[in-house]
Structure 1
Amino acid sequence: MDKSHLENKNNIKPIDMYDEMSSSYLSYAMSVIVSRALPDIRDGLKPVHRRIIYAMHKGGFDWSKQFRKSARIVGDVIGKYHPHGDQAVYDALVRMVQDFSMSLPLIDGQGNFGSVDGDPPAAMRYTETRLAKISQNLIDDIDKDTVEFKSNYDETEKEPEVLPAQYPNLLVNGAGGIAVGMATSIPPHNLSEVINATLALIENKDIKINELMKHIPGPDFPTGGTIIGKDIIKTGYKTGRGSFKIRGNVSIEQLKNGKERLVINSIPYQINKSVLNEKIVELIRNKKIEGISDIRDESNREGIRVAIDLKRNIEPETVKRQLFKYTSLESSFSFNTLAIVDRKPKNCNLKDFLESFLKFREDVVVKKTKFDLKKAEDRAHILIGLSVSVENIDKVIKVIRSSKNPEQAKNSLLKTSWKIKSSQKLIKLVDNKKSKNSYSLSSKQVEAILELRLQKLTALGINEIEVELKKLSNLIVSFKKIINSRKELLKVISNELNEIKEKYSVERRTKIIDAVLNYDIEETIQKQSVLITVTLQGYIKRGALDIVKKQKRGGKGKSGIKTRDEDSVVQTLSVNTHTSVLFFSTQGMVYKLKAWKIPEGSASSRGKSLYNILPLKNHQSISSIMPLPEDKSEFKDLNIIFATAKGKIRKNSLEDFLNINTAGKIAMKLDNDDKIIGVKICKENQDIMLSSLNGKCIRFESKKLRLFKGRSSKGIKGINLGEKDKIVSLSIVEKIDKKSDKNGKAEGKYILSITENGFGKRTNDKEFRTTNRGGKGIIGIVNSSRNGNIASSFPVFDGDEILISTNKGRVIRVAVKEIRTAGRNTQGVRIIKLSGDEKVVSAIKIDDNLI
């Protein structure tokens, strides 16, 4: 199309779309940045907050006046200065009232202005507000030509470009905002600390940020909490960018019943307490956090208090770490100190904030002082005129009476030269020039004389003029000193700051500590007794040990795991959640895993496949599991004993298995038809006992078994087994005590044997004599079609408890003292009732010292 045709028709000009879009978007972006989203570094306010304060000041809604409806104020703001939605203005006003949002609220509120639980404020027609007392220090002297004014949006009103703030409000109350392509996040600080730092800058303009941090150690949030890491704060103050962690404060209370309680006294800044509580409840429900019996929000006007009751024997520090890790009780706060400086956005460090404020405040005080000086000089000028007129009162009256009208009287008074004598000393008070004997009145002086009331002609009136003039003289001298001396100027600013600090200072609410945050996840795991169950098909799970209740001998037990028809439980292990567990495979490999990493299952669940947890190869399954001591320093004094189904045995130093990685390592070489059935930790002064499927036992001394070097050998013969017999249990037994009771028996020490059909007995330890390795052994328990083959055999004491598991997943917990004592050559008594083809597959002793 012909462009000239477009230009001529209806005065239309073609414009390139790219140029128009770029120009329009840039204008919009700059408007958002400068006029809406970012605070001014001088008074620390965004335009909407500044307009709210100014509208309230103009409306007379000061701290000393009565409260007014918020709707009235919002109407004034949007009608005169802020052409935006009423709800946006009200939201900004509400935040300025909330003591949990601002370190120093700028507006006093009456009514519901929301809560830390996220409750919304009441509608603006219900709430009432007025300026807070501290706001007076933001707006004082605004009528003294201290700041520039500009036209409002419709040019019917004037509004200030900035308020003449007397303290660094941006640092004290902080700010947050999202502009176009940039955002700001400035944390609030303690008023006293900010003022102290400003005073330090006044004393030393070359002060370093490190020295300023002696006065401002870090942010101070209105909701309290604890900031973690001083170095991170230092980085933020130096660069204007950074992120630090803040935690709520949690204390521990001791209850009368022996239990403990965690109490949340404060929460991180801008965190919704109600949402936090709901998250904790959800984590408890999903068993992500364990050991909590009850949670109550007991917060009131006095402050935040969330009570978390713990179960008995639960470690409160672990629960605290869990709360910090999984909830917003520990959250991040990002430094991004962007503010408007000289009408442009700038990222500022700590010193920039204070220097910009100080520069601005110096300018404001000079302008204010000049305004006051002019006013004082004008008043002094009038008073001198009055003094001259009183001294020449007869002549003044004569001039006035002889004039036809006021205008003629004024001209006559202006033209007359007045003799002065007593007024000379008054003139000298405000004017150091050499005084003359005559004086000419100015137009303003003449107007004041013509308006002079007769009462001023008395001696009292003349004296009042002299007293006032002397005061003005002193003021004029001090004003000029401030204007001409930067030292005096800074002194005025310092006095203002000290006065504000004295009136409004509060104690620091947020603690600052140095702490390591990259703590091991294990620190968040509660240390408690657990039961690990492994099935023949390679499924594993862990569950709390206390879910298995103690029963009398002969009970049916409780469902402990749900297995498939072709699967069965092959081993159970009682440990605590922090225990490292070694897993030994049928092919002689060993893997290590912390107990808490084993997936938790319900009482009847099957568990998870070991193939998903350990890097097992094809045709490989776990044949034995063994817990490791938690104290690694004990490793050098301990040995590890391996026993295979074919009766092989081997002894290694436990240090050989200290560093087992996730990929696994070779533990023992095995024959094709052999497998590891037991692995135990042993000391040199202990005995080793092997128990077979057919009820045979052999006991020999550990110190007589040679120590193997490395992990790749097959071991040596431990027992000479008969046909169709195999090893089912490896036990570590304390040496026979020479001391005996009246009956000649060792006190409370037994070998417990359990059979597949649920029978068992305990036999005195002294009946199992020590022999040499490699023999046929002795009878430990008689097996028959009635009681079946041997499932397990191990040493126990009178006070112990055992846990018996069947191939159908049932478990029973029985006290050893409930099981009958009998000799070696007996079949035992029924301990658990079985049904159908159900068999006992495992029996273990519950360790009393797990946690």
Structure 2
Amino acid sequence: MAKRQPPTDDFVEKIIDIDVSSEMEGSFLEYAYSVIYSRALPDARDGLKPVQRRILYMMSEMGLRPDRGHVKSARVVGEVMGKLHPHGDTAIYDAMVRMAQDFSLRLPLIDGHGNFGSLDDGPAAPRYTEARLAAAALTLTDDLDEDVVDFVPNYDNQLTQPEVLPAAFPNLLVNGASGIAVGMATNMAPHNLGEVIAAARHLIAHPDASLADIMGYVPGPDLPNGGRIVGLDGIRDAYATGRGSFKTRAKVEIEQLSARRTGLVVTELPYLVGPEKVIEKIKDAVTAKKLQGISDVIDLTDRNHGLRLVIEIKNGFNPNAVIAALYRYSPMEDSFGINNVTLVDGQPQTLGLLDLLRVYVAHRLQVVRRRTSYRLGKKKDRLHLVEGLLIAIVDIDEVIAVIRSSDEVSAARERLMAIYDLSEIQANYILELRLRQLTKYSLIELEKEQEELLREIAELEAILASEQRLRDLVSGELGDVADKYATPRRTVLLESEAVAPGGSKALAAGDGGSAGSKGKAAPLALEIADDPCWVILSASGQIARTANQEPLNDTGPRNKHDVFRSVLRTSARSEIAAVTSAGRMLRLQVLDMPALPPTTAMPNMAGGVPAKEFLTLTKGETLVGFTPLNEIIALGTEQGVIKRVSPEYPLNRDDWDVIALKAKDKVIGAAPAGEDDELVFVTEQAQLLHFPGSSVRPQGRTAGGMAGIKLLAGDRVLSFTVVKTDDGGAPDPAAVVVTIAGSSDALPGTVPGSAKVTAFTEYPAKGRATGGVRAHRFLRGEDCLLLAWAGHGPAKAASETGVARSLPTEHGRRDGSGIVLTQAIDAIGPSQTSSV
């Protein structure tokens, strides 16, 4: 067993006592500096972290330009890790992926091929994806070979890398940044390239510009996925101090998903919020009963149409109140905290918008100045060689003789320098010339090149001599980048945080709010109240309900075109009935009907839905009108039958017959009718009969009615309406009768015919089952009435598509002829609901 030898003079053990706290402090500071400077924080000049800068530089060195093919991402990661970035491949690939994601960066710098992830899923492994530089990235790396920035050694001092990229656009503001260092972090929002460049150019032209001037060009962030930013005070704070916050909201629109179902359609989400996260949080909130009124959430997102989340709303709930609840309890509203911590001259600083732009502009001015100096030196070097060649070509025979008579190259060089007063560089260049360059054309070409070089040198020297020309050059280059890569703003900026009540689509979608409003609106009622409203059937076949019982008339902006065919006063949570031409009555919930927002204009009942999509009708069956379920109603048929129906309807059925029709007969009109109300028939042969409701006893729903008007041979009922009376039983003094006469042989719409408007009081009442009185005298070529209507005036006329038509303004005699029309009329009805 060997014995341990005592230490010799050549090897002496030394144990050094150190203070642990000092060692820990020093090691921590070194680590913190490394993280801050070399990993986590971007440089204010090019807006890149070291790993991002190394990726772009290495891809540029590998020749991965936009006009070349993609290469495996793993190859890029390997090159970057082996030559420039001595850290894990995961960190390199993560940084590479983020620069390729169009939902992370406003202007992606890498063109990725394959699965580079989504807001809800991570990317595929680097061996499965491919990449190359995006076109915009070339503007960051261009001119690196012209001494525009300093190069520093890599981690093992074998290679060099740029300390910063030239950056032909303000990448830090355009694409933003995020990172967590030791004791500090950065979080910067993306902006619009065109706006940022416009601000930079203004600052170049006006170095003393204020923050307010710059914010005239950059009003706020422009997020890659759009959305809405509400409340701009936090943005102003961030632009002034470098710290602030703002709220982002999804873009939501209220849509009629079907005839009976309203929904919220989400097409844009807050920054970096994915649809799967939103759906999960909504379902959790519904389960916890924090969210009410939501029946389902469907994700219809695809590559062709982009994001589309459909949130179905239960009937009876206010969509705007549901939107407000979604903003509160789901990621459809999110906060973004701005913390503009960035490296300036290697030191972390918190900068506002104006300071960030100043740092960038100073960097870009320095880059262009160095590039200009480099190009000037190259041009002068070339001019020096050209001048030497011109001297040699003028006396080329003597030059050749000198060279041939020299024993060595060095001797020839010395003799040329001495004889022709050339520099060593010029002499060496002459000695290296090929004989084919010594033609007579060479002299002409060299003289032209000399002139061009002198002109270019003068321009470069003028740029370096003039600060203004340098600034103009930088500004012009920025403008070229904006022209090539700028896109329209995607994010809407809103001062107000309120969601306005009333159902306005624009406000519900986040497009409203006054610029100066800072107050919050009162909370919206979640469920729709049982407020009074109107239920409307238009002549073009649209049905809808109003949001309140405010009168609708053609003097306001809401009803400029379409004609009311049937209007019923009711309330939002009531049940009503729809009467069809086949004598059927269908039970309807008013809440199921689409609501017209108070501010919605109503050409063709915009906001309503076609009746055939809302009701199940048989072939040839049409909707005649709406009636209440608790009042006596009157029905009139084409064959002149009248019936008042007692409100004794089955409670457990949704549809039933209310009249037993004869063969080939159909219901023409239906409306509530009291004892004193006037029941009015108008026939095709221009006969009008009206009599009080008391003349018709109420019958059960299975009865066939009784004779209403006595028809002539070949005649038929064209119109049946109910004219209301006052408390004394007198007919409505504002009631009118409108008749449109024409030819039965003419094609529809080819001959407009003639129209007459007459006061209803001009027509005497007759007994039920009589023939009535003449309502219109036909002109030559006319043999029938095309349209007729009696009701509260003034009347309104429209075409089949709902376009307004003119009626005579003066009342004619009851048996007089009409005024010839210039345009065909297809529908007549009341112009307002207030007195219906």
Equivalent residue for 2:75? 72
- Aligned equivalent of 2:490, options 509, 533, 545: 509
Equivalent residue for 1:570? none
Instruction: Please state if 1:468 is matched with 2:449.
Output: yes
Alignment check: 8 A CA contact 1:319 1:524 kept: no
* Residue-by-residue CA offset, 1:283-313 (whole Å, 9 max, x unaligned): 2333322222222111122321111122234
Aligned-pair CA distance for 1:154 = 1.2
Alignment check: 8 A CA contact 1:321 1:524 kept: no
Instruction: Please state if 1:307 is matched with 2:310.
Output: yes
Query: Quick one: distance in 1 between partners of 2:199 and 2:272?
Result: 26
* Residue-by-residue CA offset, 1:659-679 (whole Å, 9 max, x unaligned): xxxxxxxxxxxxxxxxxxxxx
Equivalent residue for 2:458? 477
Query: Quick one: distance in 2 between partners of 1:256 and 1:96?
Result: 41
Query: Quick one: distance in 2 between partners of 1:244 and 1:25?
Result: 34
Equivalent residue for 2:271? 269
Alignment check: 8 A CA contact 1:200 1:212 kept: yes
- Aligned equivalent of 1:288, options 277, 287, 290: 290
- Aligned equivalent of 2:195, options 171, 187, 193: 193
Q: How does 1:518-533 map to 2 (within 5 A)?
A: 519=520, 522-523=523-524, 525-527=526-528
Query: Quick one: distance in 2 between partners of 1:87 and 1:242?
Result: 32
Alignment check: 8 A CA contact 1:138 1:166 kept: yes
Aligned-pair CA distance for 1:405 = 2.8
Q: Which SS does the other structure have where 1:265 is aligned?
A: strand
Higher alpha-carbon deviation: 514-523 or 290-299: 514-523
Aligned-pair CA distance for 1:519 = 4.5
**AA partner of residue 384 (structure 1):** E
**AA partner of residue 299 (structure 2):** D
- Aligned equivalent of 2:247, options 235, 241, 245: 245
Equivalent residue for 1:323? 326
- Aligned equivalent of 2:434, options 448, 453, 456: 453
Instruction: Please state if 1:386 is matched with 2:389.
Output: yes
* Residue-by-residue CA offset, 1:183-220 (whole Å, 9 max, x unaligned): 11110000000000001101111111111111000000
Alignment check: 8 A CA contact 2:318 2:526 kept: no
Instruction: Please state if 1:355 is matched with 2:336.
Output: no
Q: How does 1:205-224 map to 2 (within 5 A)?
A: 205-224=207-226
Equivalent residue for 1:164? 166
Query: Quick one: distance in 2 between partners of 1:154 and 1:576?
Result: 77
Q: Which SS does the other structure have where 1:218 is aligned?
A: coil
Equivalent residue for 1:139? 141
Q: Which SS does the other structure have where 2:53 is aligned?
A: helix
Equivalent residue for 1:737? none
Alignment check: 8 A CA contact 2:102 2:108 kept: yes
Equivalent residue for 1:374? 377
* Residue-by-residue CA offset, 1:539-561 (whole Å, 9 max, x unaligned): xxxxxxxxxxxxxxxxxxxxxxx
Query: Quick one: distance in 2 between partners of 1:470 and 1:315?
Result: 78
**AA partner of residue 84 (structure 1):** H
Q: Which SS does the other structure have where 1:66 is aligned?
A: coil
Alignment check: 8 A CA contact 1:339 1:347 kept: yes
Query: Quick one: distance in 1 between partners of 2:282 and 2:167?
Result: 43
Q: Specify whether residues 298 and 185 from structure 1 end up closer, same or farther in structure 2 by C-alpha distance, changes over 3 A only.
A: same
Equivalent residue for 2:234? 232
- Aligned equivalent of 1:108, options 111, 126, 132: 111
**AA partner of residue 164 (structure 1):** P
**AA partner of residue 412 (structure 1):** R
* Residue-by-residue CA offset, 1:618-670 (whole Å, 9 max, x unaligned): xxxxxxxxxxxxxxxxxxxxxxxxxxxxxxxxxxxxxxxxxxxxxxxxxxxxx
Q: Percent identity?
A: 45
Aligned-pair CA distance for 1:51 = 0.7
- Aligned equivalent of 2:132, options 116, 130, 133: 130
Q: How does 1:407-556 map to 2 (within 5 A)?
A: 407-417=410-420, 440-516=421-497, 519=520, 522-523=523-524, 525-527=526-528
**AA partner of residue 112 (structure 1):** N
Q: How does 1:806-817 map to 2 (within 5 A)?
A: none
Aligned-pair CA distance for 1:167 = 1.2
Aligned-pair CA distance for 1:230 = 2.1
Aligned-pair CA distance for 1:281 = 2.1
Aligned-pair CA distance for 1:40 = 0.3
* Residue-by-residue CA offset, 1:484-531 (whole Å, 9 max, x unaligned): 11101101101110000000000101010111357478437334689x
Q: RMSD in angstroms over aligned alpha carbons?
A: 2.2
Count residues in correspondence. 506
Q: Which SS does the other structure have where 1:381 is aligned?
A: helix
Alignment check: 8 A CA contact 2:197 2:482 kept: yes
Aligned-pair CA distance for 1:256 = 4.0
* Residue-by-residue CA offset, 1:814-840 (whole Å, 9 max, x unaligned): xxxxxxxxxxxxxxxxxxxxxxxxxxx
Alignment check: 8 A CA contact 1:290 1:526 kept: no
Q: Which SS does the other structure have where 2:254 is aligned?
A: strand
**AA partner of residue 483 (structure 1):** L
Where structure 1 has 5 or more consecutive residues not aligned to the other structure, the ranges are: 1-7, 418-439, 531-574, 578-740, 743-851
Higher alpha-carbon deviation: 76-85 or 399-408: 399-408
Alignment check: 8 A CA contact 2:275 2:309 kept: no
Query: Quick one: distance in 1 between partners of 2:371 and 2:192?
Result: 28
Instruction: Please state if 1:57 is matched with 2:63.
Output: no
Q: Which SS does the other structure have where 2:277 is aligned?
A: helix
**AA partner of residue 493 (structure 1):** V
Alignment check: 8 A CA contact 2:277 2:331 kept: no
Higher alpha-carbon deviation: 405-414 or 368-377: 405-414
Alignment check: 8 A CA contact 1:455 1:461 kept: no
Query: Quick one: distance in 2 between partners of 1:54 and 1:272?
Result: 31
Query: Quick one: distance in 1 between partners of 2:161 and 2:219?
Result: 37
Aligned-pair CA distance for 1:9 = 5.9
Equivalent residue for 2:830? none
Equivalent residue for 1:401? 404
Query: Quick one: distance in 2 between partners of 1:316 and 1:32?
Result: 49
Alignment check: 8 A CA contact 1:268 1:331 kept: yes
Misfit runs of 4+, over 4 Å:
517-521
**AA partner of residue 395 (structure 1):** E
**AA partner of residue 345 (structure 1):** P
Query: Quick one: distance in 1 between partners of 2:193 and 2:521?
Result: 38
Query: Quick one: distance in 1 between partners of 2:24 and 2:572?
Result: 66
Aligned-pair CA distance for 1:449 = 1.0
Equivalent residue for 1:151? 153
Q: Specify whether residues 9 and 331 from structure 1 end up closer, same or farther in structure 2 by C-alpha distance, changes over 3 A only.
A: same
Query: Quick one: distance in 2 between partners of 1:113 and 1:41?
Result: 27
Aligned-pair CA distance for 1:259 = 2.5
Equivalent residue for 2:98? 95
Equivalent residue for 1:259? 261
Alignment check: 8 A CA contact 1:196 1:215 kept: yes
Query: Quick one: distance in 1 between partners of 2:466 and 2:527?
Result: 67
Instruction: Please state if 1:202 is matched with 2:204.
Output: yes
Q: Specify whether residues 9 and 405 from structure 1 end up closer, same or farther in structure 2 by C-alpha distance, changes over 3 A only.
A: closer
**AA partner of residue 214 (structure 1):** G
Alignment check: 8 A CA contact 1:319 1:526 kept: no
Query: Quick one: distance in 1 between partners of 2:378 and 2:345?
Result: 30
* Residue-by-residue CA offset, 1:398-422 (whole Å, 9 max, x unaligned): 11121123222212111113xxxxx
Instruction: Please state if 1:46 is matched with 2:49.
Output: yes
Where structure 2 has 5 or more consecutive residues not aligned to the other structure, the ranges are: 1-10, 499-518, 532-570, 574-692, 695-836
* Residue-by-residue CA offset, 1:342-374 (whole Å, 9 max, x unaligned): 110000011111100111111111111111111
Rg: which structure is higher?
1
Equivalent residue for 2:763? none
